[in-house]
Amino acid sequence: MKRRRLRNWLPAVAGVAAVATLASPLVLPQAAGAQETQYFPVASSRVGPYSAMGTGYYGAQIDYMNYVNMNGGVNGVMLTWQECETEYNAVKTVECYQRLLEKDGQRIVVFDTLGTPGAYAVINRMADDEVVLAQYGYGRTDAADGRVWPWVFNAASHYWSQIAVKMKFMAEQEGGIENMRGKKIVHLHIDSAYGREPLPAMRKIAGDWGVELVEISIPPPGLEQQSQWLQVRREQPDWVTFWGAGSGMNSTGMTNAARVGFPRERLIYVTFGAAEEDMYPAGDSAKGTYAMANALPGDHFPLVQRIKEQVYGAGKGNLAEESRVGSVYWNRGLGAAVMWIEAMRNAQEMHNKVGQAVTGAEFRDGYEALNMTEERLEEIGIKGMVAPFAISCENHEGAGKFAMMQWDGDKFVQVTDWEAPLDPGYIRQLVEDSAAKFASENNITPKQC
Amino acid sequence: MSAKPVFMTYTKGDVVNFVVLMALAFLVIPSIVETDYWYTSILIPWLCLALAAIGQQIVMGYTGQLSLGAAGFMAAGAFACFNFILRVPDIPFFVALGLSGLVAAGFGILFGLPSLRVRGIYLMVATLASQFFIIWMIDKFGWFKNYDTSGIITAQDIVIFGHAFTSPMEMFFVVVVVVTVLTLLAMNMARGSTGRNWMAVRDMDIAAESMGISLLRTKLQAFAISAFYCGVAGALFAFTYLKSLEPVAFDIKLSFEILFMVILGGLGTINGAFIGAAFILLFPVVLNSVGNNLFHGAIDATIISSIEQVVFGVLIIVFMIYEPLGMAKLWDNIKQRFLRSRSLRNEVPRDHKGLSKQES
């Protein structure tokens, strides 16, 4: 009887669900008050294999926006935001982008996918929609050529610079480039656009130096790596550059390295495997692993301290665990959010709109005018957390510098200062060549700078 | 069932349904829906995935062959379409679309071959090969991606008779036209002798064979047609929704989602493919936007995201328990009930007469 009744109810429930389906995406509450506001999208990835990255990074962005609001906004303009879950999935990122695009009649001015697949999925919409794609150390590398990609930035340095800095580090450890001849590097990467992104630069440099490069791919999500590590053991490489994503894949990499006896002091992790959450699960196997940083961890930076006091002190913090404030991903998200707000400040000043919301085009100008000098970073309170940089019309990369860290079993220890590639001009040339190829294939006339 | 056909084999109800749906697609939606979001993020992917679900429906719902490689065929179709447009000068878009469907159909026949030997879940495992082989092939040989270093390529604009269909509404029309034509075809096939053969094989293949139905021909035909639908759906998905081509977008997860669409929507029904696609595609979106709108700031966003997945999973279980025949059946029930209550209200006095007339 009961079952019967439930069955009768089901159509009604389905009807309600259908109505909700149709109505819901149209409903966007949080009406803007009289106060001037600027709307930001948070296309987070909080569930799935990449949750550690997504919660830390986007958590920091929200924390910083809360902090800015608590301190009077950006020249009085309050920040609003809306979240959407992408699960680090390109298809869902497209949906999220469209959903977040406009709210209360205001359009987003910047978009941040924290994932190369997602960035590629929306990259062609930026110019038409007049939205800045801010790739904080990920995404399409040749977007560093601002003449071909005026709306796309990869400030905080791209993957080609990163791999060049890694190879420079290897050369230093081996005692010079001349000692690199005949050495063997395995590039062990997740089989996606992100994993393959550094390869063009890496192949070129390896060819110039006489280094043998072996590319081994791991199918996503990368939790199964045993056969690949056996292959590594057969190859007997001098170095392994590990290009993984998600703490599951990254920690599995180190435990497998330990299993096949590959020294962790010869294993260099990419920025997206260079976080505490990637290291802890591997336990002792992680000790000695090198990892690259584009924003250093630590909660001793004045801005981080102030956010802890004001935002977390008021119980408005976004992270459930306050102890993660100051971790690698959180600090990286902070670095990205600081750039948004600085760009917005620039845009207000450049276009005489102090105290008003800015448009996508104005924001783009502000972003391109970013000049994060040592002094400015100190004023903000993150001196030393990121390398000082400036963006220009041609160069959308920023510093192009990375710092090497080493995991001591408990925390990261910085082992080098902010390092640029040995020959930044060479990397830049690769970027310009690639961008020029893209421009000619797609009939884009590069902008004059 | 007893209603008289008015046009070919279609009853009056069918024709009315068709006209209403077409009016909805070509007149009502374009005049009501103005935001791009609805076209680009809801309607277009829904129609594309529904088309792929029809493909899955043909091989699984009608022919009873468990298969799990729909996303692989979609990838084949998408990349075939890209290459046809890239390499054949001035090829009309619909021709490229049809050819890419045929390429996918070729793969369908190839990977349908195991169905002659193995069945049930073993066949499902065998068809997984298509998923992995096609993606691997596209990744391995740079030619398919025009030697793009990153492996993600930009889809060309859709140009039909010199007009570029780039705005969301225009692309929606392209998708609607293709989906309408192919859906009508699928319905006809399902109702005709082709569909009877499929269902005979599904219900009991030995009996079907002794009736003179060639198993080889029927099964491979189903696989080919299924892959054709998936291929066209994949090409549309890449060209109108993603606007970029990336093998990772067609991963095993998408194959599973299409499988779920068919099971949840109702096996062996065409409208089930549309309903299932709507549920699987839209419900996470609804849950996510409801979660983010209602509980914005109130609950930890990480917990909201996790709860959405739990709710979605629970809903699937509930539907499967209370309506194992899928949502198409549910839809029928709603319709039946609505019609019955209306007819009861209107026709109670004439009930006896009507009944006796029909019985005689």
Q: Quick one: A321 and A429 in the same domain?
A: yes
pLDDT exceeds 70 at position A90: yes
User: Residue B284's pLDDT band (boundaries 50, 70, 90)?
Assistant: confident
Do residues A365 and A351 touch, judged by C-beta distance below 8 A? yes
Q: At what angle do helices A2-23 and B301-322 cross, to 10 degrees?
A: 130
List A383's β-bridge partners, or say none: A386
pLDDT (mean) for A340-352: 95
Q: Which of A24, A102, A124 sits opposite B289 (nearest CB)?
A: A24
- Could you tell me if A211 and A180 are in contact, meaning their C-beta atoms sit under 8 angstroms apart? yes
Q: Would you state the pLDDT for residue A26?
A: 44
Assigned domain for A21 exists: no
Residues A331 and A268 in one domain: no
Question: Can you say whether residue A45 is alpha, beta or left, with left for phi > 0 and alpha for psi between -120 and 50 degrees?
Answer: beta
What is the CA angle A117-A443-A113, rounded to 5?
A: 20
Chain A residues lying within 8 Å of B44, measured CB to CB = none
- Residues of chain B with Cβ-Cβ distance to A100 below 8 Å are none
Residues of A whose CB is below 8 A from B306: 46-47
Q: How many CB atoms are located within 10 Å of the residue A259 CB?
A: 14
Spatial separation of the C-alpha atoms in residues A292 and A421, rounded to whole Å: 13
pLDDT band at B238 (very low <50, low <70, confident <90, very high): very high
- Two tokens at A86? 């992408």
Tell me what pLDDT residue A420 has: 94
> Which tops the pLDDT comparison, B146 or A242?
A242
Task: For residues A89-113, give the mean pLDDT.
Answer: 90
Collect all residues of chain A within an 8 Å Cβ-Cβ radius of residue B248: 90, 117, 192-193, 220
Nearest-Cα distance to chain A for B221, in Å, is 31
CB-based burial, A372-384: b 16+ in 10 Å, e otherwise: beeeebeebebbb
Position A394 in a domain:
yes
Place of tokens 């209200």: B345
Pairing of strands A239-243, A267-269: parallel
A289 plus A312 within the same structural domain:
no
Whole-number CA gyration radius for chain A: 23
Are A427 and A312 in a shared domain?
yes
pLDDT tens sequence across B239-275: 999 888 888 889 888 999 999 899 889 888 998 999 9
Cβ contact A95–B323 (<8 Å): no
Q: Is the Cβ pair B149, A46 closer than 8 Å?
A: no
Question: A183 touching B, CB under 8 A?
Answer: no
Neighbouring-strand partners of residue A214:
A186
Q: Residue A242 is encoded by which pair of tokens?
A: 């590990």
Q: Which of B149, B160, B154 is nearest to B239 (CA)?
A: B154
One domain, residues A124 and A188 = no
Helix (H) or strand (E) holding A106: strand A106-107
The answer to whether residue A88 sits within a structural domain is yes
Task: Write the DSSP assignment of A359-376 as a string of letters.
Answer: -HHHHHHHHHT-EE-HHH
Query: What letters, b where the CB count within 10 A reaches 16 and e where it falls short, cover B249-278?
Result: bbbbebbebbbbbbbbbbbbbbbbbbbbbb
Contacts of B154 in chain A (CB under 8 A): 124, 442
Greater pLDDT, B5 or A407: A407
Judgement on whether residues A313 and A433 belong to the same structural domain of the protein: yes
Q: Report if residue A16 sits inside a domain.
A: no
Binary contact (B242, A85; C-beta < 8 A): no
CA nearest to B233, candidates B105, B123, B91: B105
- CB distance B229 to B184 below 8 Å: no
One-letter amino acid of A175? G
**B269 three-state secondary structure:** coil
Q: Is pLDDT above 90 for A80?
A: yes
Which residues of chain B have a CB within 8 Å of the CB of A102? 35, 37
3-state helix, strand, coil in chain B (%, to 5): 75, 5, 20
Report the gap between the CA of A281 and the closest CA in chain B (Å).
Answer: 20
Rounded to the nearest angstrom, the minimum Cα separation between A243 and chain B is: 14
Q: Are B249 and A20 an interchain contact pair (Cβ–Cβ within 8 Å)?
A: no
- The tens digit of pLDDT for each residue in A142-156 reads 899 999 999 999 888
Q: Are B109 and B221 in contact (CB under 8 A)?
A: no
Residue A339 shares a structural domain with residue A434: yes
Average pLDDT, chain A: 89
Which CATH number fits the domain that encloses residue A374? 3.40.50.2300
Contact B243 A125 (CB under 8 A): yes
pLDDT at B297: 62
Test mutation, A28, A62, A120, A129, chain B, max B CBs within 10 A:
A120
Tokens 């091989």 found at: B59
Parent domain of A152: 37-157+298-400+422-441
**A chain contacts of residue B338, beta-carbon cutoff 8 Å:** none
Q: Is residue A28 part of a domain?
A: no
What rounded mean pLDDT belongs to chain B? 85
CA–CA separation, A134 and A413 (whole Å): 28
From the list A98, A121, A140, the residue facing B40 with the nearest CB is A98
Q: C-alpha angle with apex A293: A292 to A297, nearest 5 degrees?
A: 130
B139, B244, B306 ranked by CB distance to A191: nearest: B139
Segments in A25-115 forming alpha helices (H): 51-70, 90-100
Gap between the Cα atoms of A121 and B286, Å rounded: 22
Angle between helices A424-441 and A159-174 (to 10 degrees): 150
According to the 3-state scheme, what is the secondary structure of B18-80? HHHHHHHHHHHHHHHCCCHHHHHHHHHHHHHHHHHHHHHHHHHHHCCCCCCCHHHHHHHHHHH
**What residue in A sits closest to B337 (Cα-Cα)?**
A11
Contact criterion met (CB < 8 Å) for B150 and A30:
no
Please state, in angstroms and rounded to a whole number, the distance separating the CA atoms of residues A50 and B105.
36
* Distances, alpha carbon A436 to alpha carbons A142, A277, B83, in Å: 9, 39, 22
Res. A29 pLDDT band, cuts 50 70 90: very low
Inter-chain CB proximity A82 and B296 less than 8 Å: yes
Give B-chain residues touching A124 at CB under 8 angstroms.
154, 243-244
Contact between B151 and A193 using a beta-carbon 8 Å cutoff: yes
pLDDT at B33: 81
Contact call for B289 and A125, based on CB within 8 A = no
**Domain for residue A24, yes or no?**
no
Q: What residues are paired with A218 via a beta bridge? A: A190
Between chains, do B306 and A95 touch, taking CB under 8 Å as contact?
A: no
Best of B24, B34, B37, B331 to disrupt the A interface (most A CBs within 10 Å) is: B37
Q: How many contacts does A have with B, using Cβ atoms within 8 A? A: 135
Q: Are residues A430 and A304 in the same domain?
A: yes
pLDDT of the residue at B346: 61
Q: State which of A236, A267, A293 marks the end of a domain.
A: A293
DSSP conformation letters of A303-329: HHHHHIIIIITTT--S-S-GGGTTSHH
Predicted confidence at residue A27, as pLDDT, reads: 42
Candidate from A75-84, B269-278, B313-322 with smallest mean pLDDT: B313-322
**A305: pLDDT strictly greater than 90:** yes
C-beta atoms surrounding A401 within 10 Å? 22
Which tokens hold the place of A7?
């069955």
Q: Residues B176-227: pLDDT tens digits?
A: 999 999 999 999 999 899 999 999 999 998 999 999 999 999 999 999 999 9
pLDDT at residue B201, as a whole number: 93
Which residues of chain A make contact with B305, given a CB cutoff of 8 A? 44, 46-47, 85
3-state DSSP helix/strand/coil percent for chain A, to nearest 5? 50, 15, 35
Look at residue A30 in the predicted model and tell me its pLDDT. Answer: 44
Residue entry with tokens 């081509």: B245
Interface touch B246/A442, C-beta < 8 Å? no
Helix, coil or strand: residue A393: coil
B33-70 confidence digits (pLDDT tens): 878 888 888 899 999 999 999 999 999 999 999 989 89
CA atoms of B346 and B354, how far apart (whole Å): 12
Identify the residue among B46, B149, B252, B332 best suited for mutation to test binding to A, counting A beta carbons within 10 A and taking the highest.
Answer: B149
Nearest residue to A56 via CA among A325, A415, A363, A343 = A325
CA distance B208 to chain A (A): 35
Q: pLDDT per residue over A207-243, tens digit each?
A: 999 999 999 999 888 899 999 999 999 999 999 999 9
Q: Is there a single domain that holds both residue A257 and residue A173? A: yes
pLDDT over 80 at A76, yes or no: yes
Helices (H) and strands (E) in chain B, counts: 16, 6
The pLDDT > 90 percentage for chain B reads 41
The confidence band for B347, taking pLDDT boundaries of 50, 70 and 90, is low
Q: Which two tokens stand for residue A399?
A: 């510093």
Domain ends where: A244, A264, A293? A293
Q: Which class for B162: exposed (0-12), middle (13-18), buried (19 or more C-beta within 10 A)?
A: exposed
Among the partner residues B41, B244, B323, nearest to A121 by beta-carbon distance: B244
Does A28 lie at the interface with B, CB-CB under 8 angstroms? yes
The separation between the first and the last C-alpha atoms of chain B, rounded to the nearest angstrom, is: 17
Question: Strand (E) positions, chain B?
Answer: 5-7, 10-11, 153-154, 158-160, 163-165, 244-245
User: Does the pLDDT at position A166 exceed 70?
Assistant: yes
In chain A, residues with a C-beta closer than 8 Å to the C-beta of B290 are 20, 24
Q: What single-letter amino acid sits at A58?
A: Y
Q: Does residue A3 register a pLDDT over 60?
A: no
Higher-pLDDT residue of A134 and B331 is A134
For residue A56, the one-letter residue type is G
Task: Give burial (CB, 10 Å; 0-12/13-18/19+) of A227.
Answer: exposed
Contact B198, B62 (CB under 8 A): yes
Domain shared by A135 and A179, yes or no: no
Nearest in space to B282 (alpha carbons), one of B293, B271, B274, B270: B274
* Residue A265: per-residue pLDDT: 95
In a domain, A266, yes or no: yes
Which three-class secondary structure state does DSSP give residue A230? helix
Contacts of B288 in chain A (CB under 8 A): 84-85
CB neighbour list of residue A267: distance below 8 Å, 6 or more residues apart: A239, A240, A242, A253, A254, A257, A288, A289, A290
Nearest to A10 among B292, B294, B323 (CB): B323
Tell me how far apart the alpha carbons of residues B199 and A50 are, in angstroms, rounded to a whole number: 44
pLDDT at A28: 41
Q: B357 pLDDT band (50/70/90 cuts)?
A: very low
Q: Measure B13 CA to nearest chain A CA, in Å.
A: 22
Decide if A439 touches B, using CB distance below 8 A.
no
A256 and A337 together in one domain: no
pLDDT band at A1, cuts 50/70/90? very low
Query: Is residue A80 a contact partner of residue B342, using CB atoms and an 8 Å limit?
Result: no
Kindly state whether residues A128 and A188 are assigned to the same domain: no
- Provide the pLDDT confidence category of residue B93 given band limits of 50, 70 and 90: very high
Instruction: Please provide residue A396's backbone torsions phi and psi, each rounded to the nearest 5 degrees.
Output: -100, 15
Domain count of the fold of chain A = 2
Scanning A284-323 for CB atoms below 8 A from B yields 318, 320
Instruction: Specify the pLDDT at position A326.
Output: 94
List the Cα angle A327/A331/A334 in 5-degree steps. Answer: 150
**Inter-chain residue contact B241 with A94, CB threshold 8 Å:** yes
User: What would the pLDDT profile of B96-123 be if each residue is shown by its tens digit?
Assistant: 999 999 999 999 999 999 888 888 889 9
For residue A15, pLDDT beyond 60 = no
Q: What whole-number distance in Å separates Cα of residue A387 and Cα of residue A403?
A: 9
| A 140-159 near B (Cβ less than 8 A) | 140
Q: Residue A5's pLDDT is what?
A: 53
Are the C-beta atoms of residues B156 and B85 closer than 8 Å to each other? yes
Assigned domain for A306 exists: yes
Residues of chain A in contact with residue B150, where contact means CB-CB under 8 angstroms, are 120, 140, 193, 196-197
Question: Which tokens in the block code for residue A402?
Answer: 């990375």
B286: nearest CB among A3, A21, A90:
A21
Any residues with CB less than 8 A from the CB of A208 and at least 6 apart, and which?
Answer: none
Amino acid in position B279? F
Q: Which of A85-94, A111-120, A194-203, A294-303 has the highest mean pLDDT?
A: A294-303
**pLDDT of the residue at A19:** 53
Mind listing the pLDDT tens digit for each residue in A46-68?
888 888 899 999 999 999 999 99
Last residue of a domain, one of A293, A311, A330: A293
Phi-psi map region of A400: left, alpha, beta (phi>0 left; psi -120 to 50 alpha): left
Say whether pLDDT at B288 is over 90: no
Which of A46, A90, A191 minimises the CB distance to B249?
A90
How far apart CA A383 and CA A196 sit, in angstroms, is 32
DSSP helix/strand/coil, A261: coil
Q: How far apart are the C-alpha atoms of A247 and A277, rounded to whole Å?
A: 6
Question: 3-state DSSP call for residue A42?
Answer: strand
